[in-house]
Amino acid sequence: MKTVFSVDELRAVVADWRRAGESIAFVPTMGNLHEGHVSLLRRACELATRTVVSIFVNPIQFGRGEDYARYPSTLEDDKQKLQAAGLDLLFVPNLDQLYPGGMEEDTRITVPVLSTILCGQFRPGHFSGVATVVSKLLLNVQPDVALFGEKDYQQVLVIKQMAHDLLMPVEILGMPIVRDPDGLAMSSRNAYLNASERACAPLIFQLLTRAADKLRRQDTSLIAIETAGMAELAAAGFRPEYFSIRRAQDLSAPRPGDTSVQILVAAWLGTARLIDNLRVEMPAPLQSV
């Protein structure tokens, strides 16, 4: 495994691979890697002859008062995991490499509509920060395919829309959520949970599965399901932001006749903001919303 720290070094390696006719799969991360990240790399190794992982904690996707300054940094441990998984190239840029114009004056990319709902409502500017840094990475890695975990389902849709609209020649793949045995979606931010919070956190997935059962039966309105989810989270000590049922393809409001919906949740537990989601394929089209 080779590690590079500059855009010029990255481009030189990629150019050699391209001249040799090799395919490239890419997994962008913010480090503090867990099994969810490693599963993306394993799939990347199956899809291409060369693999690239980036580690960069992107400041412009964090809002005021969020955890940018304390986001866990575990580079040496991350390198060991990536080496063991068969990575070819690790890209670890600094701020000057990715934001040569400075963070305040650097160009921004914004994906309309998708970026302002759900997490975008509670984290203004977050998805513009994501779209901007991912576009820079894609332009320089030049992968054939880039893989993203579907725990951040809204993020996957934002990036797919961006790549489509900007005519980027890359396939964006969303990969299934990897969960702990008790159902909690793996996340770097789970490290913020203390013992009692960690014991409580799996309730999120339990509520998602209960809501999915109600949806399939179609004996309860969508609003009632969402309201119950919010109430149960609050009663358990969470500070929920949303518990929402949306169309899977674009996160718009469900409509009668839909057969594929996504239940999405965001809630604070202590100092950790947790997100999760669950796809529901309806046995019969939605009759009402």
Q: Do residues 184 and 192 touch, judged by C-beta distance below 8 A?
A: no
How is residue 192 written in tokens? 């913020």
Strand partners, 24: 50
* 164: annotated active-site residue: no
Tell me the three-class secondary structure of the chain, residue by residue. CEEECCHHHHHHHHHHHHHCCCCEEEEEECCCCCHHHHHHHHHHHHHCCEEEEEECCCHHHCCCCCCCCCCCCCHHHHHHHHHHHCCCEEECCCHHHHCCCCCCCCCCCCCCCHHHCCHHHHCCCHHHHHHHHHHHHHHHHCCCEEEEEHHHHHHHHHHHHHHHHCCCCCEEEEECCCECCCCCECCHHHHHCCHHHHHHCCHHHHHHHHHHHHHHHCCCCHHHHHHHHHHHHHHCCCEEEEEEEEECCCCCCCCCCCCEEEEEEEEEECCEEEEEEEEEECCCCCCCC
From 34, 37, 126, 164, the catalytic residue:
37
CA torsion, ordered 206, 209, 213, 215, to nearest 10 deg: 120
- Which residues are catalytically annotated? 37
